[in-house]
Amino acid sequence: SSSAIDFLTQDLGIDLSVVAQLGGHSHARTHRGSGKTPPGAAIVTTLLSKLKEFGEERFVLKTAREVTKILTADEGDKAGQVVGVEYRNIGAGDGPAESEIALGPVIFTTGGFAGDTHGLLSKYRPDLAGLPSTNEPRPGAHKLLTNVGAKLIDMDSVQIHPTGFIDPANPGSQLKFLAAEMLRGEGGILLHNGRRFVNELDTREKVSGVIMGLEPLSEAESGGLKQWDVQILLDPGATEAAAGHVGFYVWKGLLKKVKVKDLDEATKETLRQYARVVRGEMKDELGRKAFGHWRLGISTDGTIDDEEEVCIGSITPITHFTMGGVVFDRQAEVLKTELGEEPQRPVGGIWAAGEITGGIHGDNRLGGSSLLECVVFGRIAGQQAAEAVRKS
């Protein structure tokens, strides 16, 4: 993974100078930039800019396209191997979209199925029906791969992220913005009825489980979804450390700035007690040991200024990431054999990277590992596909 970081920072010039501790981490290990751009956006925009420098002779980006079929060779030594894709333009207007064909090696990076509520999610995890998601409500692309013989693994392993924002302007929306884990890593706390109730830096699975053990909101309050009444609160120190994210969330109306004097008494008492924990005067009964950049009430006398502003918003657990996907090998080549089955047999002509793949994370994953796998296996897939072209 160190070579992936070197590629991003040294070869592409992406700022990943901040290293933070997120939930479930024993040390700071997750990289991001010091500015306002999230790391995923920084990687994608930088890569696109680099690719466009090659000109249209070598790079063409087509959007609003939907792959409808993976094409394979019918005969000869390469029978069954992938030779291209069939796709259609879904942004072409009201009329039927005509099919087009692109020939050559294929790299599949279509993401997971956490938003496929009535399809793959209901098939493999019907117990999660009704939870909102950070993923758009679209079908998973996994059947395209199984149609050419690819195997799937860990399809019942779906990550529930504990903090998706409930938009006060549209609380019943199925699609939620993620309240990034770094908000808690930089010092943010979670409240229910004004009280902390969980170690905010425990694993996503544990934090989600504690929240979902609380009484959920009524259907009338949650728009028919499964949602919970929990708040995330950031003091001035955490707000400044997470300024890039916080500015966006405030602009979207997901976080609001509130003076301490305007908080309810239960929340004020929680802030006083938490400040004592941060100052080292008492042990956190919930087990939190790292406090990010929290500074409210940590002065010598422990006074909390009523005029200080905190940021607060409502959050709820959401389906966020699917660990399951297509079986692939260390060269990112899609396999038609089960994981661990020998000999491994690739489909041929097709590679995969990112959330469409399975077998990397086990039953759950830590924050930061998703972007990392995209970079590591994305580079490998690109190198292998390019080598296939050179040999053809």
Q: One of 31, 32, 142, 184 is an active-site residue; which one?
A: 184
Could you tell me how far CA 102 lies from the centroid of its own chain? 30
Q: One of 31, 142, 161, 288 is an active-site residue; which one?
A: 161
Catalytic status, residue 161: yes
- Token digits for 158? 């779906």
Catalytic status, residue 142: no
In single-letter form, the type of residue at position 283 comes to K
- Token digits for 174? 């199925």
Task: Write b or e for each residue in 167-179: b if 16 or more Cβ atoms lie within 10 A of its Cβ, otherwise e.
Answer: beeebeebebbbb
Question: Among 70, 96, 156, which Cα is nearest to 120's?
Answer: 156
Residue 189: beta bridge partners?
233
Measured in residues, the chain has a length of 392
Task: Write b or e for each residue in 275-303: b if 16 or more Cβ atoms lie within 10 A of its Cβ, otherwise e.
Answer: bebbeeeeeeebebebbbbbbbbbeeeee
3-state per-residue secondary structure call for the chain: CHHHHHHHHHHCCCCCCEEECCCCCCCCCEEECCCCCCHHHHHHHHHHHHHHCCCCCCCCCCCCEEEEEEEEECCCCCECCEEEEEEEECCCCCCCCCEEEEECCEEECCCCCCCCCCCHHHHHCHHHCCCCECCCCCCCCHHHHHCCCCCEECCCCEEEEEEEECCCCCCCCCECCECCCHHHHCCCEEEECCECCCCCCCCHHHHHHHHHCCCECCHHHHCCCCCECEEEEECHHHHHHCHHHHHHHHHCCCCEEEEHHHCCHHHHHHHHHHHHHHCCCCCCCCCCCCCCCCCCCCCCCCCCCCCCEEEEEEEEEEEEEECCEECECCCCEEECCCCCCCCCCEEEEEEECHHHECCCCCCCCCCCHHHHHHHHHHHHHHHHHHHHHHHC
Provide the annotated active-site residues: 161, 184
